[in-house]
């Protein structure tokens, strides 16, 4: 089945989300150590067809790339090398962590679980992916 993969890249952890086969809904999938993300994505691609990557891109309030964008740029080069035939879209990731915390609270997640950064990362990836899909329709 065709899937769009959303990625919230960080130096330590990477949140991963996927679309449903119709490209309507995003679901949080996993949080992976950044050193293992390409390997993880290759394994995922053996089970599902990845038609596009949507990568959260850190920008400042004025729209200019933030300091963290350098790390994402390096990751994007590795991603393009590992998946040369899969298009990559950069998606503004401003406020995704705030939205992820709000979603966890609204969803009734316990405070102890909300403090786990792994949860925030994968929910942020889902928000990034959902934002892209909503705008693309």
pLDDT in tens, 98-126: 556 566 566 666 666 656 666 778 989 99
* Residue 34 near residue 9, CB atoms below 8 Å: yes
Q: What angle do CA 80, 83, 87 make, to 5 degrees?
A: 70
Q: In the numeric block, which tokens belong to residue 40? A: 């993880």
- Structure confidence by residue, pLDDT tens digits, 24-61: 999 999 999 999 999 999 999 999 999 999 999 988 87
Sign of torsion over alpha carbons 53, 126, 18, 71: positive
The domain ranges of the chain are: 2-136
Overall CATH class of domain 2-136: alpha beta
């Amino acid at each position: 089945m065709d899937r769009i993969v959303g990625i919230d890249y960080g130096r330590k952890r990477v949140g991963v989300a996927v679309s449903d086969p119709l490209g309507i809904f995003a679901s949080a999938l996993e949080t992976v150590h950044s050193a293992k993300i390409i390997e993880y994505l290759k394994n995922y691609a053996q089970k599902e067809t990845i038609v596009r990557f949507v990568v959260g891109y850190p920008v400042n309030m004025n729209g200019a790339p933030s300091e963290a964008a350098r790390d994402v740029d390096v990751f994007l080069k590795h991603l393009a090398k590992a998946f040369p035939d899969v298009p990559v879209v950069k998606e503004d990731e401003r406020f995704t962590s705030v939205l992820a915390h709000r979603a966890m609270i609204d969803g009734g997640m316990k405070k102890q679980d909300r403090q786990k950064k792994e949860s925030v990362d994968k929910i942020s990836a889902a928000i990034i992916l959902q934002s892209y899909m909503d705008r693309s329709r």
